[in-house]
Structure 1
Amino acid sequence: MIRVFFDTEFTDLIVDHQLIRIGLIDETGERTFYAELSDTYRLADVGDFAREAVLPQLEGGAALMTMDDLRERLKVWLEAFDWPVRLATDSLSWDWPWIQEIFTDYNVNYDSPHARDSWPFNLDGKPLILTQDQAFNQAVERAFAEGLRRHHALDDAKANRLAWIAIAGDTD
């Protein structure tokens, strides 16, 4: 099984928040995925923190996509791994629900013979929860001090990967 570290950024720390972006990196550091959503939120829905820390880092261009495009592209990206994939997160309650949301296709009529299963066939349904002890947090802070951007979903995923390696000593 291969670990893929991921992070999300969203509009606010409220119940009805919306996804702004997602970033993933595999445990080897060789493969990344990054997306910014174009159809999930309105600027008026974005809280002060996300306005100040998240929106200024948006890249646009090829990263910008709809939720339907994200569902398709991320599924293809995950299924391209030759092994089962286990996603790793430092925030089960804020990040993991977005994986469930992304791969729940509300537009599919599951009674239809043409219905497609949107959950990637090789994706474990249980995430790895990264323990945020002092050593882990210090390793994350080192990653940011060395140039990664805080509150950028891909860089946050990279920082978590680097902290995991620093704590575990390897990627096995």
Structure 2
Amino acid sequence: MRLFLDCEFTRLSAAAKLISLALVAEDGREFYVELLDSWREEDCSDFVVEVVLPQLWGGSNAQPIIKARSALFDFLASFDEVLEIVTDAPQYDWELFIELVYDDGKWPRNVRNYPTDATTLDATSDGVPLPHHALLDARIIASMFTESNPKKG
């Protein structure tokens, strides 16, 4: 099963800090979380402050990193098959995914430990411009590689 990953983070640099993370599965299941305690506005580039931060949903989506990690593990464990994580930005999104999911030497048993670069796959559509919101972007990326991608709210 492919899961399409997208992240929003503080800046395009090695010092990037995770703001939000989304996964959209081929079967339409979704995971979305915004981190409360892993970044500060001062860490963010002007672009992130102007475009990304205003789009955050907050509410129950916003969680401390420990709760977010647990919720991510639970989501990944809900799949019986081996999971292939697909991202269009492995140099950022995959690294930030690892930071959230890898904890105290534990890796989810059903997740491959390397990403698939979406830019190397044959897309079934061109998609639309990404709005820079992790879940909305992950949905668009997923729709580019699946024949039909049911959306769950």
TM-score greater than 0.5 by the shorter chain: yes
Aligned-residue sequence identity (percent) comes to 35
The correspondence for 2:140, drawn from 159, 162, 167, is 159
Q: Distance in 1 between matches of 2:40 and 2:9?
A: 11
| Cα deviation digits, residues 108-147 of structure 1 (max 9, x gap) | 4xxxxxxxx53111111121111268x8496222xx5xxx
Deviations 1:137-165 (A, max 9, x none): 96222xx5xxxx61010111111111112
How high is the TM-score relative to the length of structure 2?
A: 0.88
Structure 1: runs of 5 or more not aligned: 109-116
**Residue aligned with 2:6, SS:** strand
Question: CA separation in 1, counterparts of 2:10 and 2:120?
Answer: 23
CA distance in 1, matches of 2:138, 2:116: 13
Counterparts of 2:44 and 2:124 in 1: how far apart (Å)? Answer: 27
CA 1:91 to 1:39, structure 2 compared with 1: closer, same or farther past 3 Å? same
What's the C-alpha RMSD, in Å, of the aligned pairs? 2.1
Alignment size in residue pairs: 149
Corresponding residue of 2:14: 15
Map of 1:73 onto structure 2:
71
1:104 Cα deviation after fit? 2.8
Is it true that 1:99 corresponds to 2:97 in the alignment?
A: yes
The verdict on how the C-alpha distance between 1:81 and 1:138 changes in structure 2, with shifts beyond 3 A counting, is closer
3-state SS of paired residue (2:126): helix
Match of 2:80 among 64, 79, 82: 82
SS in 2 for 1:124: coil
Query: Matched residues in 2 for 1:158 and 1:94: separation?
Result: 18
Checking the alignment, whether the CA contact within 8 Å between 1:54 and 1:151 is kept in structure 2 is yes
- AA in 1 matched with 2:127: V
